[in-house]
């Protein structure tokens, strides 16, 4: 094992000790193929009202413009799968990822500890950490780092862990040993496409976000089209339907990260309690949750829509 391989192995080992589920490393390259696909996706208006997806195009496809001097992209995964379910049938449903503490802080804090490890044990290194908080095509980098492939439902899928995974990226100015991209193992399976109640997966690997339940319950700040009435299946923040039916999620095992554990006060809310939620209760229950992002009015709009 040469020095670069040894250094990369040290980084991956440290990432696992910090609680990440997996770690891979990719060489910084211009994302030529992805740039073309992104242009086509934006031209098709599949991003709906998410104007920010049009911003910083060059930084999305060339991270050297986002973090000058980047040589390597260290990618981490953090399992958030849980088998915990709402205690009351008929209660509104929020996506698994939002049942615990807001993942942005959890992932980024661990990435900063990983950067500190690199500086302390390998050598002086500059870098920046991101977790769904910048124009970074994190699923692409996860694939290039060998951690999984982008499935037909456009989520990252790991053959070992499924798709209930948070992605973190650490851009550093150090050359390392690089992993090979992961192969696509979706095969001829189309379960996610067939299961989507709003037909948001318009063809394999292409998502019309403007039809997605997650988009309408989180990103859409206006009214929700009556076209989708009765199709949200009680989802009021995010949607896991395309992941729930994915055969690769048979590999998913409940995580043991204390910070991401589902909050009991969310799971025990009855249908009536959801509908009668006060703003004060909302602020208390969701104070450190990703649900806080849509605000009290946004959540109550969604609850009313699925009623």
CA distance 164 to 162: 6
Residue 191 has a pLDDT of 98
Could you say which residues of the chain have pLDDT below 50?
none
Residue 185 has a pLDDT of 98
CB 289 within 8 A of CB 94: no
pLDDT digits (tens, 9 = 90+) for 255-298: 999 999 999 999 999 999 999 999 999 999 999 999 999 999 99
Residue 269 has a pLDDT of 93
Tell me the pairing of strands 235-237 and 93-94: parallel
Catalytic option among 3, 102, 120, 132: 132
Check if 179 is active-site: no
**Cβ contacts of residue 271 below 8 Å, gap of 6+?**
88, 90, 91, 92
Residue 133 has a pLDDT of 82
pLDDT digits (tens, 9 = 90+) for 4-27: 999 999 999 999 999 999 999 999
CB 306 within 8 A of CB 217: no
């Amino acid at each position: 094992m040469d020095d670069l391989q040894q250094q990369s192995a040290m980084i991956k080992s440290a990432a696992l000790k910090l609680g990440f589920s997996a770690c891979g490393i990719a060489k910084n390259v211009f994302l030529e193929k992805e740039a073309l696909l992104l242009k086509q996706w934006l031209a098709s208006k599949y991003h709906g009202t998410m104007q920010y997806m049009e911003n910083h195009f060059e930084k999305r496809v060339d991270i050297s413009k986002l973090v000058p001097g980047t040589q390597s992209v260290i990618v981490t995964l953090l399992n958030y799968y849980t088998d915990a379910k709402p205690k009351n049938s008929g209660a509104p449903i929020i996506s698994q990822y939002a049942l615990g503490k807001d993942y942005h802080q959890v992932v980024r804090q661990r990435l900063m500890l990983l950067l500190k490890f690199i500086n302390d044990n390998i050598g002086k290194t500059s870098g920046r950490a991101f977790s769904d908080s910048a124009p970074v095509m994190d699923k692409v980098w996860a694939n290039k780092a060998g951690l999984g492939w982008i499935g037909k439902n456009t989520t990252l899928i790991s053959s070992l862990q499924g798709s209930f995974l948070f992605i973190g990226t650490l851009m550093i100015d150090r050359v390392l040993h690089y992993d090979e991209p992961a192969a696509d193992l979706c095969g001829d399976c189309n379960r996610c496409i067939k299961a989507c109640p709003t037909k948001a997966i318009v063809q394999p690997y292409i998502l019309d976000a403007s039809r997605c339940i997650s988009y309408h319950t989180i990103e859409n700040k206006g009214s929700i089209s009556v076209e989708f009435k009765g199709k949200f299946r009680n989802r009021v923040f995010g949607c896991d339907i395309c992941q729930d039916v994915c055969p690769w999620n048979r590999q998913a095992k409940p995580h043991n990260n204390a910070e991401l554990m589902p909050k009991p006060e969310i799971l025990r809310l009855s249908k009536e309690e959801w509908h009668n939620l006060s703003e004060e209760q909302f602020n208390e229950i969701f104070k450190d949750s990703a649900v806080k992002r849509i605000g009290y009015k946004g959540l109550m709009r969604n609850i009313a829509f699925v009623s």
